[in-house]
Amino acid sequence: MKEYKDASSRLSVVLSDLDSNILFRKFADRLTTEFNAKILEKLDGLDQRYWDFDVNGTIVVLHSDAMAGISIYVEDGSNDDLLRKIAENLLKLKS
């Protein structure tokens, strides 16, 4: 599991080095089924995609970038343990 911190010290986890629409949708589906997440917002652009999910009151963002792949982070950076738990679960899809 690849982790990194952005400029504001918010943890992000890389789920895939490749940007795949199919894999992104599998991750999104898994979030809704395994974590009972509700989709709050879908921002789909040409090269990037941000989908916000509510997971028990925490906003989790699934992000896809044509150059960087697919990653996930907690919007306000407040719950690294939840983020790691979700990421580990989602990464099982790639196995």
| Cα 6 → chain centroid | 14
Domains and CATH numbers, the chain: 2-94 (3.30.160.690)
Task: Give the pLDDT score at 40.
Answer: 98
Residue 48 pLDDT more than 90? Answer: yes
Mean pLDDT of the chain: 93
Q: Which parts of the chain fold into alpha helices (H)?
A: 21-34, 80-91
Question: What CA–CA distance (Å, rounded) separates 56 from 7?
Answer: 26
pLDDT at 94 over 80: no
Q: Among all chains, which residue has been given the structure tokens 């943890």?
A: 11
Q: Which pTM value belongs to this model?
A: 0.93
Q: Which band of pLDDT confidence, cut at 50, 70 and 90, is reported for residue 29?
A: very high
